[in-house]
Amino acid sequence: MTTLTILTSPGRYRPASFERLARDAEVRWTEADGLAAALPGSDALLMWDFFSPALADALPAADALRWVHAASAGVDSLRFPALVEHGAEVTNAHGVFDQAIAEYVLHTVLMFAKRAPESLELQRVHDWRRRELEQVAGTRALVVGTGGIGRRIAQLLNGLGVEVAGAASRERAGDADFTRIVDSAQLAAHLAEVDWLINAAPLTEATTGLFDAEVFAALPARARFISIGRGRSTVTDDLVRALETGQIAGAGLDVTDPEPLPAGHPLWDAPGALITAHLSGDTEGWMDRLAAQFLEYWDRWIAGAPFPQTVDLRAGYVPSRS
């Protein structure tokens, strides 16, 4: 009989829909400290606790593992050498968060352009003050990361009349969503006219620390930086300095490094910073949507059918079909 191990964490939501898994498999629920004991004989592993690094230590116990599914878009916790070389198929929550995160980015752009934080503060002190706002149509955005999330961000921004370029691991001609796609290794060379620099990149060796002092210095002073990728893509000290010196006009951050951001960290009070607690994809029902996707993949796997897409662990993402 097939054996499925599900890695969870204390108090984590367990969808009722998962009960049907027991029709096809022996299901072993475990937390991180029990993963090594649960893995022997397991054919599949669901990383329901998707931020956990526990698999790196437990993988030697996996003597039958053929499939690992991460209930997250990012797979940086799975990109350790032993799993890369293991040969198990890896899938992730590709597509589940695209709309929610793109809406979050759109919301952040509009908050900055329409001066929403200032309006809320004026309302708080009962100050009726007219001000000029910014028009978003006609501005320019550069989205770093042209996968499903980055592409949906581009589509929503295009709908507002924003000119959207992309940056990826290689330069290529544009398409319906991006006017052009530049090489992210040469990012600073393409920022002189950018109003919105958006980090939607997976965390890889190439993107770790990508958004640094050189990048922020290349942006015009009116530009805002929006980050929904991974916190470690940004050199935090360089970002704080860019905000404090007025080198850029603002930063909308759903991810930070470190994370959670400690109380008292200078980024909290940096001028023009809007910070949320890594929640851009967490719209109502998001865990049920993750469960539904996994069950779809499970049915395919049990039937011997191919997955809609798999992760290239060496690259760190699902290869684009566009």
**Burial class of residue 317 in the structure, from the number of CB atoms within 10 Å of its CB (0-12 exposed, 13-18 middle, 19+ buried):** buried
Integer Cα distance of 90 and 309 in angstroms: 9
Residue spans per domain, the chain? 2-96+284-303, 98-275
pLDDT at 1 (0 to 100): 85
Q: What is the pLDDT of residue 197?
A: 99
Task: Round to whole Å and give the CA distance between 214 and 123.
Answer: 38
Tens-digit pLDDT string for the chain (322 aa): 899 999 999 999 999 999 999 999 999 999 999 999 999 999 999 999 998 999 999 999 999 999 999 999 999 999 999 999 999 999 999 999 999 999 999 999 999 999 999 999 999 999 999 999 999 999 999 999 999 999 999 999 999 999 999 999 999 887 899 999 999 999 999 999 999 999 999 999 999 999 999 999 999 999 999 999 999 999 999 999 999 999 999 999 999 999 999 999 999 999 999 999 999 999 999 999 999 999 999 999 999 999 999 999 999 999 876 4
By the 10 Å C-beta count (0-12 exposed, 13-18 middle, 19+ buried), 81 is classed as exposed
In this prediction, residue 322 carries a pLDDT of 47
CATH superfamily placement of domain 98-275: NAD(P)-binding Rossmann-like Domain (3.40.50.720)
> According to the model, what pLDDT value does residue 105 have?
98
For tokens 């003597």, the residue is: 63
For residue 321, the model assigns a pLDDT of 61
CA 277 to chain CA centroid, nearest Å: 13
Topology agreement, domain 2-96+284-303 and domain 98-275 = yes
pTM to 2 decimal places: 0.94
The C-alpha angle 99, 102, 105, rounded to 5 degrees, equals 155
Would you tell me which CATH number, out of the four given (3.40.50.720, 3.40.190.10, 3.40.30.10, 3.30.230.10), belongs to the domain 2-96+284-303?
3.40.50.720
